[in-house]
Chains A and B, each alone.
Chain A
Amino acid sequence: GAVVSQHPSWVICKSGTSVKIECRSLDFQATTMFWYRQFPKQSLMLMATSNEGSKATYEQGVEKDKFLINHASLTLSTLTVTSAHPEDSSFYICSARSGGSLSYNEQFFGPGTRLTVL
């Protein structure tokens, strides 16, 4: 149980276009989802916290108008990278946390989405 999926697993786009990445909790309801970015050989960097039905909370230095997050249901959060540029190329990972019976604070991570902007 406790599976989180991401779609797509990889995407290549042209500079200036927008890309949407989906994060789904498949077998539990996720009250909170988190979005991370990871550059090669580096650690994960938390971008934002997404709560169902409310606005996302962004970490310092993350542009909320560039990285649009929507958490419309308890099983789906989306991250849209708007007007993507080559420097946005990265590995984007989401995680989901259940507010219910799963172990305290355990978060389940998706497999990640590799974004390449040409």
Chain B
Amino acid sequence: LAKTTQPISMDSYEGQEVNITCSHNNIATNDYITWYQQFPSQGPRFIIQGYKTKVTNEVASLFIPADRKSSTLSLPRVSLSDTAVYYCLVEGSSYKLIFGSGTRLLVRP
């Protein structure tokens, strides 16, 4: 399973766009990249998943370069309620999710 590395923490202000980059140098051909959000004392919540290029849904965008060794989660116009821990994971055919340290995002007023 590919290991992921992401910043431990990030600060932002309401209304700003936040980009969290994750590196996964050992990603395998069949692996997908998935991002989860977790609030304190809650289970993680699926945000977005992608294989290559760009994926967009109603809450975020995911940018994956051609070599797939990194990915960037983009949160447009964050609000205070986006304060949470964000996890980048690489998932393959075993379906096991190995969580890294995650990125603690703090959104300030």
Q: Could you list which residues of chain A lie within 8 angstroms of chain B, going by C-beta atoms?
A: 4, 6, 32, 34, 36, 43-46, 49, 91, 93, 95, 97, 103-112, 114
Contact = CB atoms under 8 A, between A and B. Distances in A.
Query: Which bucket holds chain B's interface residue count?
Result: 20 to 34
Given A105-B91, A107-B46, A112-B41, A95 B97 contact: yes
Interface string B65-98: 0000000000000000000000100010001111
Contact of A106 (B41, B46, B98, B101): B46
Contacts, number: 56
A106 B49 CA distance: 8
Contacts of B96: 34, 46, 49
B34 A43 contact: no
A31 B42 CA distance: 23
Given A44-B97, A106-B34, 13 more contacts: A32-B95, A34-B97, A43-B99, A44-B87, A46-B98, A46-B99, A49-B96, A105-B32, A106-B46, A106-B49, A107-B95, A109-B44, A111-B43
